[in-house]
Structure 1
Amino acid sequence: MDPLAVKTTLFNIFNGQDIGCDLDGMTNSSKFWVTPHGWILVHDTASMSTFLFNPRNRDEKIQLPHLTEDLRRTCACVLSCKPTLPGCSVLLVAPDTTVIWQCCIGGKEWARHEYDIGTQLIDPANDLHEKVPICPIAACRGKFYFNSENFVDIGVLEFSPMPVFGSLKLAGEFEAPTRAKFLVESEDDLYMALVYGIGCDMIDCETQVHKMDFSAQQWRRADDLGGRAFLLASCYFGASCSADEHGLEADCVYMLYHGDEACLKISNVKNGGVEFMEVPAARRALWLLPADP
C-alpha cells in the first residue's frame, strides 16, 4: 500500500460511526504513538519537530527534543507519570528489537540504548537463540515493568540517568497456557491481562486479569477492576480509565483487534461474559484516550 494513501480515521464505539480526523500530528507527514496517559507522541518530519499533545485540547502541547531516527509505528510509548509532573520520562520501546529511546520532559536530546536481558530459544531443532525484547511494558509508581517470563519474575527498568535493568522475583505458583499478555497500570496498581486466542473468531476465549501484590511479590487473580475499564490493543498497548466517566462497562476488558476482520472483544471480569463488536478494517488500530489532567 502506498504510504501516502494511509488515512487516520476515528471510530465511535458507542454509535458505530466513523469520525473525520483532523487532529494535529495525525497526518501523512508524521508518525504518532498513543500513550496509556492519553497524550500522543508525534514525530513530524515536515516541521522537524517532536512533541506530546493532548487530543482534547489542541493548544496543550509539550515540546520535546526532535527524534533524529525514523522509528516504526509499532513502537510502544510509555510515560513514567503524567507529563505535566516534574521528572516525567518518555520511553519508546521497539517490540521486536532490543533498543529503547528515552528522554525527559525538558531535556535536550533523546538517548538511544541497546540492552541485553537474556536470550530465548526460537528454533529447538537448530539450537537457535535470539535476544529477548521488552514486550509488554507498563509504568507504575515511577518504574517501568516489563515481560514476566514463565511468571517466575518480572523485569524492572529505572533511569538514573542511564537505564538500570533489574527483576523482581515472584512468589507462588502460576500456570497459564500460551496467550497474549498485557501489563496495565491502574490507579497506581499493576495488572496483567491474559487474553486467550487470537482475533475474534474464538467465541469461548476467556480473559483473565491478575493484580500484582507488591508486598508479597505475587500475582493474584482479580475478581474486578475497581469499577474501571481496561483498553488493550495489538503491539501490547494497555491502559485504564474510569468506566462511569466515559460511558464504558465497568470491570470489563476491551480488546481491539486490527486487520481485515477487525473487531472489539469486551470481556467482563466479574461474570465472565463476552461480547463482540464489529469495527472497520485497519492496518493499525489504537485507542484514543482522555488525557490525564
Structure 2
Amino acid sequence: MDPLPVPCLALQPQQHSLDAVKTTLFNIKGQDIGCGLDGMTNNSKFWVTPRGWILARDTASMSTFLFNPRNPDEKIQLPHLTEDLRTTCACLLSCKPTLPGCTVLLVEPNATVIWQCCVGGKEWARHEHNVGTQLVDPASDLREKVPMCPIAACRGKFYFKSESFADIGVLEFSPTPVFSSLKLAGECEVHLDTAKVFLVESEEDLYMVGLVDGFGWDLIDLMDYRILVHKMDFSVQQWRRAYDLGGRAFLLASGYFGASCSADEHGLKADCVYMVCPGDTTYLKITSVKDGWIQLMKVPAAIRALCLLPPLIHSLFFLVKEKGVSRFQR
C-alpha cells in the first residue's frame, strides 16, 4: 500500500456505519486521490492518536497494532483488544510508541471506563474510574459520574479536565492507574458552563483551547464563537493566556481530539487553530490566535470529524466521516 498523501480528507461513505469504516481519500480541493488505508477497512476498527500513529483492531486476523499512515509497513504489534469498543473512544500514547514503556490508553467517552496496555505487554487492562460527578437535574440535585474528557498526554502523564477549573486531573500508570489532581493557582477566563474545551499537547507543553460565546456543540454557528488559548505554567500550576502558539498550528475536531504541528513545515498558517465543524454543511475553520481573523473552507458534508498528525514527517490530514449515523452517537 502506498503512503498516505497529505494533506487530505478521508471520507466514510454514507452507506457505512460508524464502526464499519470504509474510507475514500480526497485532497483539500475535494478531488478523489484513489488510495486506501489498511486500518480503515471494514475488517478493522481504528482510533487515531494526537501523535499520528493509528491504533487498529483487525477482526479478521484477531490482531491489534499501531501503524504509521505515512509508512503503513511500520507496525507495532500489541496484545489483541478482545473488547469491541466504539470508534469514538479517545486514544492516546504516553510517549512515542517506539520508546520503552509507552502506554496506550483508550478512554470511553460516555462511560467511566478506560483500557490500557503497554507496548511489549501481554494484555489490555480494563479500569473503572470515579473522577467526579456532574449535576444532571438541579431540581432534584441528581448527579452522575463524569467521563474523562477532554484528555491529553503530556510529559508522560495524562491530564484531563476536572469538574471545575480549580484543579486539573492527572492519571499515571505504575503499573496500575493512579489518579491525582493538580491544584491550580489564579483564575481562568474560560468557564465550564460557557465553553467547549480541548486539551492539546504541543512540544511538551500543555494547552487549553476554549471555544466560548454562543458555542453550542449540537447546533453550531460557525461565526458565533471565539477562541481563547491558555498554556499551563507548571512552575506555578496556573493557566496563563497565550497569544501565540510558538509558530505551530493546532488541529481540533469533535470528540475532544486535539493535536499540533509545525505550521511552516507543512504549509499551514502559524499560530492558528484549525477546527473541523461537522454537519449538513461542513467547514474547516481557521482562527488566528494572534490577530483574531477567521477563514472558512467548505469540505464535503460530514457527521463526524477527526484530525490526524502522522508521525515521523509530521504531515497533516483531516479524517472526516460522512453522514450515515446519528450526530449524537458516542
Is the shorter-chain TM-score for this pair beyond 0.5, marking a shared fold?
yes
Q: Counterpart in 1 of 2:200?
A: 184
In structure 1, give the amino acid aligned to 2:46. Answer: F
CA distance in 1, matches of 2:207, 2:308: 21
Count of aligned pairs: 292
Q: Counterpart in 1 of 2:222?
A: 202
Structure 2 residues not aligned, in runs of 5+: 1-14, 314-330
Given candidates 6, 17, 37, the residue that maps to 2:51 is: 37
3-state DSSP class of the match of 1:126? Answer: coil
Q: Counterpart in 2 of 1:7?
A: 22
In structure 1, give the amino acid aligned to 2:24. Answer: T
Q: What's the CA shift for 1:47?
A: 1.2
Q: What's the CA shift for 1:7?
A: 3.2
In structure 2, give the amino acid aligned to 1:99. Answer: V
Q: Counterpart in 1 of 2:327?
A: none
Higher alpha-carbon deviation: 58-67 or 1-10 = 1-10
Equivalent pair of 2:56/2:65 in contact (CA under 8 Å): yes
CA distance in 1, matches of 2:237, 2:84: 38
TM-score (norm 1): 0.95
Aligned positions of 1:270-281 closer than 5 A: 270-281=290-301
After TM superposition, the runs of 4+ consecutive aligned structure 1 residues lying more than 6 A away are none
Q: Counterpart in 1 of 2:40?
A: 26
Q: What's the CA shift for 1:118?
A: 1.8
Q: Counterpart in 1 of 2:318?
A: none
Shift in CA distance, 170/163, structure 1 to aligned 2, threshold 3 Å: same
1:79 lines up with 2:93 in the alignment: yes
Given candidates 95, 101, 126, the residue that maps to 2:109 is: 95
Higher relative contact order (CA 8 A, sep 6+): 2
Q: Counterpart in 1 of 2:231?
A: 211
Equivalent pair of 2:259/2:308 in contact (CA under 8 Å): no
Q: Counterpart in 2 of 1:226?
A: 246
CA distance in 2, matches of 1:253, 1:181: 13
Q: What's the CA shift for 1:21?
A: 4.2
In structure 1, give the amino acid aligned to 2:206. Answer: L
Equivalent pair of 1:26/1:32 in contact (CA under 8 Å): yes
CA distance in 2, matches of 1:49, 1:114: 24
Aligned positions of 1:142-157 closer than 5 A: 142-157=156-171
Equivalent pair of 1:212/1:220 in contact (CA under 8 Å): yes
| 1:59-108 Cα deviation digits (max 9, x unpaired) | 10001000000000110000000111111000000111000000000000
Shift in CA distance, 117/6, structure 1 to aligned 2, threshold 3 Å: closer
Q: Counterpart in 2 of 1:252?
A: 272
Shift in CA distance, 21/208, structure 1 to aligned 2, threshold 3 Å: farther
CA distance in 1, matches of 2:259, 2:94: 13
Q: What's the CA shift for 1:267?
A: 0.7
In structure 1, give the amino acid aligned to 2:202. Answer: S
In structure 1, give the amino acid aligned to 2:307. Answer: W
TM-score (norm 2): 0.84
Q: What's the CA shift for 1:2?
A: 5.3
Instruction: Supply the RMSD in Å over aligned alpha carbons.
Output: 1.7
CA distance in 2, matches of 1:20, 1:259: 24
Equivalent pair of 2:134/2:163 in contact (CA under 8 Å): no
CA distance in 1, matches of 2:96, 2:190: 33
